[in-house]
Amino acid sequence: MSGWESYYKNQGDEEEEDQEEGLEAGGDYKYSGRDSLIFLIDASEAMFETQDEDELTPFDMSIQCIRSVYTSKIISSDRDLLAVVFYGTKKDKNSVNFKNIYVLQELDNPGAKRVLELDHFKGQEGKKHFQDLIGHGSDYSLSEVLWVCANLFSDVQFKMSHKRIMLFTNEDDPHGNDSAKASRARTKAGDLRDTGIFLDLLHLKKRGGFDISLFYRDIISIAEDEDIRVHFEESSKLEDLLRKVRAKETRKRVLHRLKLKLDKDVALTVGIYNMVQKALKPSPVRLYRETNEPVKTKTRTFNVNTGSLLLPSDTKRSQTYGSRQIVLEKEETEELKRFDEPGLILIGFKPLIMLKKHHYLRPSLFVYPDESLINGSSTLFSALLTKCLEKEVMAVCRYTPRQNIPPCFVALMPQEEELDDQKIQVTPPGFQLIFLPYADDKRKVPFTEKVMANPEQVDKMKAIVQKLHFKYRSDSFENPVLQQHFRNMEALALDLMEPEQAVDLTLPKVEVMDKRLGSLVDEFKELVYPPDYNPEEKVPKRKQGDENSGSKRPKVELSEEELKAHVSRGTLGKLTVPTLKEACRVYGLKSGTKKQELLDALTKRFQKA
């Protein structure tokens, strides 16, 4: 029989699951799908010209920027869909046979072959390769270009949470001499907005400057959470273009959309966002050694006595409690998994000072209003946030993220909007969803007696801390192991001679620290440690015969009567594993090393007695 534990997910698994379920009809929550992004590149001759020989051409900048996004997507979110489309070309390649539009890559997952294909278009050799393979054209219609992009989105079979087109060009008025084409392009851009497709302009440097008001002001889409000023800054350097692209392509993807119930009849919709998630190496894929094809694992259950194959209906699930085996039917185990409908239910309010640092269980989530299920949610959310900030209170709620996941208590800590000197948002307004521990999660740890330092030692350590003070930002430090792993994978996938070495920014700068501290460390050692202290000297091991060495085995201070009393009261499980092992040894009981096996052996022995 299987244990119940296999029926439950680990805490936090809901963030890592595939979230491609559709919106349930009439449901109170929904999940997102995959992000999709089309890079739309102007391939006219002007994109291959540069004002300075040392500068990159606008086309080369675009290709290098797209390649950077591809490699980062392979690492961070390889399930997203990317495509590359050229327009203003001599040759054409698209599903509707429009002229001067060349679809280089259709919407698909990023991969090594696609990155290598983009590398062929880099630099002077890339310029020649483009002219030989595709060539330049001039008579194109931007409405037809947008039509081709819309078809690429519609041909995808997956559910897509976000559809975006990034347009790279240095031509500010593509249809200045043809008002009919300009009108059709504006109409088609409006149609894309209505179907949820965002169009972003990544305009590049042009002689005389890029005037967005001539044409693109009516074409581009501006999301509610974007700053309109970003669209009016032209990019003259690759770093500027990369920064702008990364800011736009990083979608604020919602983890869940749930109802926050303030009362029986009052509710609003909120989006739950995952702000921090541990980055891990991708799990390896098992391949068949002869063909390199992925293999699938199938699990089957057999009867240990007869060897016959068992169907799911032939098995039950059990859990040993004490010395009894509790067995449940499949329907009962299914019922055990159902707790409540997904959502947030308000329990009450508490002062913010009651939230302690040691209550931390896992990274918090961010809560922001969402109008998709209940209109007016933003207004009610804003009123709730304002009052919580005024009164300095947090909202305590019961949080059920998904079906079949146990509920937990959370604190909604209000967060005020912060702007920098340029009036650009640094911190958004909303609630930080902080997970609170249950009583079962708290532990009592015996602490040793506190040893007080004298004032002179404290002052010296203060001086050391002051000298080593620096501004810490978590986003300034990358995981060196992960970075080196992905660079090794990139080198293998792209057939590079050797991988680029990642810089380990977590290593302390010893020389700089020594220079800052000067003689402070030696002075502190003299105050704290004895004169003959050597930190590198190994501590001699104590021999077993020493008086103070003590026995490795824990001493059992429980008599036979006490063990019988524990068994009769059912409190034997409160004893530690070393104590149970020693008791089994003393009474000559054979058992395994797990606690449950030790408990069973002792229970069986003293129940007979």
Which one of 9, 30, 387, 594 is the catalytic residue?
A: 30
Separation CA 252–CA 247 (nearest Å): 10
pLDDT at 1: 45
pTM over 0.85: no
Separation CA 67–CA 71 (nearest Å): 6
pLDDT at 338: 77
Phi and psi dihedrals of 319, rounded to 5?
A: -145, 130
Q: For residue 37, list its beta bridge partners.
A: 82, 164
Contacts of 269 (CB under 8 A, 6+ apart): 257, 258, 259, 260, 369, 370, 371, 372, 373, 374, 377
The CA angle 245-248-249, to the nearest 5 degrees, is: 80
pLDDT at 243: 62
pLDDT at 384: 94
Tokens representing 602 are 């002792």
pLDDT at 410: 95
Which residues, given as ranges, of the chain have pLDDT below 70? Answer: 1-33, 51, 76, 221-253, 422-424, 538-557, 608-609
pLDDT at 284: 84
Tokens representing 158 are 């997956």
Question: pLDDT tens for residues 312-350?
Answer: 888 888 878 777 888 887 778 777 777 788 999 999 999
Burial of 230 per CB tally in 10 Å (0-12, 13-18, 19+): middle
Question: pLDDT tens for residues 51-83?
Answer: 677 778 888 888 988 888 888 777 767 788 999
pLDDT at 12: 41
Separation CA 131–CA 86 (nearest Å): 13
pLDDT at 229: 43
30 catalytic per annotation: yes
Please identify which residue in the block is written with the tokens 């702007």: 419
Radius of gyration of the chain (CA): 32
Nearest Cα to Cα of residue 60 among 155, 128, 142: 128
pLDDT at 473: 80
3-state secondary structure of 114: helix
Amino acid at 159: K
Separation CA 601–CA 606 (nearest Å): 9
Separation CA 32–CA 133 (nearest Å): 39
What does the DSSP assignment read for 367-433?
EEE--SSSTTHHHHHHHHHHHHHHHTEEEEEEEE-STTS--EEEEEEEE--EE-TTS-EEE-SEEEE
> Cβ(328)–Cβ(316) under 8 Å?
yes
pLDDT at 550: 46
